[in-house]
Amino acid sequence: MTARYPMGLIETRDAIACGDRRARDVCDEALRAIETRDVELGAFLHVDAEGAGRDAERIDAVLARGERPGDLAGVPIAVKDVIVTRGLPTTCGSRILDGFIPPYDATVIARLRAAGAVLIGKTNCDEFAMGSSNENSAYRVARNPWDTTRVPGGSSGGSAVAVAANMCAASLGSDTGGSIRQPASLAGVVGLKPTYGRVSRYGLVAFASSLDQVGPFARAVRDVAELLTVIAGHDPLDSTSVDAPVPHYSHNLRTTLKGVRVGVPREYFVEGIDAEVERAVRGALGRLKDLGATIHDVSLPHTPYALGCYYLIATAEASSNLARYDGIRFGFRAARADGGALALREQYTATRERGFGDEVKRRIMLGTFALSSGYYDAYYLKAQKVRALIQRDFDAAFREVDVIATPTSPTAAWKLGAKVADPLQMYLADIYTVSCNLAGNCGVSVPCGFTSENLPIGLQILGPAFAEERILSVAHAYEQSEAWRTRVPPHPETA
Amino acid sequence: MASLARLELSADEVDRYREQLSQILDYVADLDAIDTSGVEPLSHAVPISAPMRDDSTRPSLPPDEALANAPARDETAFRVPPILAGE
pLDDT above 70 covers what percent of chain A? 98
Interface of A with B in 91-110 (CB under 8 A): 99-101, 103-104
Look at residue B82 and tell me if it is in a domain. no
Q: Is A420 on the interface with B (CB under 8 A)?
A: no
Cα A121 from Cα A51, distance rounded (Å): 9
Look at residue B2 and tell me if it is in a domain. yes
A179 catalytic residue (yes or no): yes
Cβ <8 Å between B21 and A369:
yes
Look at residue B65 and tell me if it is in a domain. no
Cβ <8 Å between B8 and A385:
no
Q: Is B40 on the interface with A (CB under 8 A)?
A: yes
- Chain A residue at shortest CA distance from B26: A308
pLDDT at A4: 53
Judged on CB neighbours under 10 Å (0-12, 13-18, 19+), B81 is: middle
- Confidence at A186, pLDDT banded by 50, 70, 90: very high
- Give the mean pLDDT of A395-410: 98
Cα B18 from Cα A17, distance rounded (Å): 58
The pLDDT of residue A283 is above 80: yes
Look at residue B76 and tell me if it is in a domain. no
Q: What is the mean pLDDT of chain A?
A: 95
CA atoms in the 13 A half-sphere facing the CB of A425: 8
Interface of B with A in 49-78 (CB under 8 A): 49-51, 53, 61, 65-66, 68-72, 78
Q: Is B34 on the interface with A (CB under 8 A)?
A: yes
> What is the residue-wise DSSP string for A16-48?
HHTTSS-HHHHHHHHHHHHHHHHHHH--EEEE-
pLDDT at A494: 47
- Chain B residue at shortest CA distance from A437: B45
Which residues lie below 8 Å from residue A133, measured CB to CB, with a gap of 6+? A126, A151, A152, A153, A154, A157, A414, A416, A419, A420, A426, A429
pLDDT at A69: 87
pLDDT (tens digit per residue) in A30-67: 999 999 999 999 999 999 999 999 999 999 999 999 99
The pLDDT of residue A495 is above 60: no
Which residues lie below 8 Å from residue A224, measured CB to CB, with a gap of 6+? A170, A190, A191, A192, A216, A217, A218, A444, A472
pLDDT (tens digit per residue) in A148-167: 999 999 999 999 999 999 99
Of A77-91, A93-107, A231-245, B51-65, the one with minimum mean pLDDT is B51-65
Strand partners, A421: none
pLDDT (tens digit per residue) in A109-148: 999 999 999 999 999 999 999 999 999 999 999 999 999 9
Cβ <8 Å between A343 and B71:
no
Interface of A with B in 442-471 (CB under 8 A): 465
Cβ <8 Å between A382 and B7:
no
Cβ <8 Å between B46 and A341:
no
Range of the domain at B5: 1-30
pLDDT at B87: 45
- Give the mean pLDDT of A200-214: 97
A361 catalytic residue (yes or no): no
Cα A152 from Cα A136, distance rounded (Å): 12
Look at residue B9 and tell me if it is in a domain. yes
Best mutation target among B14, B28, B39 (most A Cβ atoms within 10 Å) is B28
pLDDT (tens digit per residue) in A219-247: 999 999 999 999 999 999 999 999 999 99
| Residue A361 near residue B13 (C-beta atoms within 8 A) | yes
The pLDDT of residue A7 is above 80: no
Q: Which residues of chain B have pLDDT under 70?
A: 85-87
Strand partners, B78: B73
Cβ <8 Å between A438 and B5:
no
User: Of B8, B24, B48, which has the smallest distance from its Cβ to A353's Cβ?
Assistant: B8
Q: Give the single-character DSSP code of A239.
A: T
Give Cα separations from A235 to A12, A108, A202, A362 (angstroms).
28, 10, 8, 33
pLDDT at B41: 94
Look at residue B4 and tell me if it is in a domain. yes
Strand partners, A144: A147
| SS3 state at A359 | helix
Task: Report the domain count for chain B.
Answer: 1
Cα A129 from Cα A90, distance rounded (Å): 13
pLDDT at A2: 43
Give the amino acid at A472.
Answer: L
B-chain residues near A384 (CB < 8 A): 41-43
Q: Of A216, A215, A161, whose CA–CA distance to A183 is shortest?
A: A161
| Residue A53 near residue A95 (C-beta atoms within 8 A) | no
**Would you tell me how many other CB atoms lie within 10 Å of the CB of residue A375?**
16
| Residue A351 near residue A94 (C-beta atoms within 8 A) | no
| SS3 state at A370 | helix
Look at residue B45 and tell me if it is in a domain. no
Look at residue B11 and tell me if it is in a domain. yes
